[in-house]
Structure formats: C-alpha cells, structure tokens
Amino acid sequence: MATVVYKVGDDVSTDAVYPGRFMATVLPSETPQFCFADDKAFNTALQQKAFAPGSVIVAGQNFGCGSSREQAASTIKGHGLVVIARGFARIFLQNSINLGLRTVICPALEAEVGDEIALAEAHVRNVTRGADFPIVPLPAARQAIIDAGGLIAYTRTRLVAARAR
C-alpha cells in the first residue's frame, strides 16, 4: 500500500516538474532538490523527506509533455516516488523507463491526495474508495530495458556482446 501525496491535472510539462532555470544541474544525485520547484509547499515537503518511498503522484493525461530534459525523471526517482497517470508523453515515459522511475498508465484512474493505493499486475486498487482501475501495459518494446534494470545496464550488456563478436 502506498499513499497518494500529490495530484496534478492534464498536460503537466517537464518545465513544471523540473524548471528550466535548474537545468545546469544534471546529475541524478543532485536533481532531486529541484523537484516541482515552483510548488514551494510540495518541494519543501519532499526535501524534508515527508513521504515514504513508493508514495504516489497521480497525474492526468499527457504527463511530462514538452522538453526532453531527463532531469524530470531523475528528480522524481530521487525521491522514490511512483507516478500513476492517465497517460504519459512519449519522451518522458521513455526517460522514466530508461532510468527506472516507476510509471503506471491508468487511463480511468480516480484518486485524491491522501488515498491509499495498492498496485497489482493488471490494475490499480484505490483502497480508500474500494475501486479498481485497469492498467495499460507499457510499450512491449520497453520491457527488455525494464527487465535489465534500466537502459545503462541494458546497453552495457549489448555493448559487451557486440564488441566480443
């Protein structure tokens, strides 16, 4: 079980997740401090480690649209959060898979901040509301990367195999 700690609407851009003015900071070890930096209250709570790992951000359609900045994925991952959205923008979804940020596509999801969530294979259970919402599997093409533990590990294996030939 995990708690919904933040909720955003449709078309939330990576500018909102990780504002451009912090883009000179690139390393995954350093990006978490600027997570949703323009929302002072949420950012402060994150910095104070107010949320247990595995806590959930609930989002609407097209989450992570706009800039390809990978900091938007690493900054959320750095706080150990999971993103459950009605839909994700392509590049953000890909970056999340590549970095190992857990993302769940759940088109009909209904949840509010404070709700308790349980993640099953095929659905998201909103325990607080006693309702299940089906999960859309991630693109099949990406499963190998998830299984490898991220794109760095995946590419490393491929590279070693390729150069051994």
User: Residue numbers of the site for other proteins (CB under 8 A)?
Assistant: 11, 13, 15-16, 19-21, 23-27, 38, 61-62, 65-70, 73, 87, 89-91, 94-95, 98-99, 139-142, 144-145, 150-152, 154-156, 158-160, 162-163
Strand order in the sheet with 56-59: 103-105, 82-85, 56-59, 2-7, 116-119, 123-126, 131-134
> What is the spatial distance between Cα 126 and Cα 48, in angstroms, rounded to a whole number?
26
- Residue 32 or 117: the one with the smaller Cβ distance to other proteins is 32
Distance CA 89, CA 26 (A): 21
| Cβ-based nearer residue to other proteins, 49 or 90 | 90
Give min distance, CB of 49 to other proteins, in A.
24
Q: How far is the CB of 117 from other proteins (least distance, A)?
A: 24
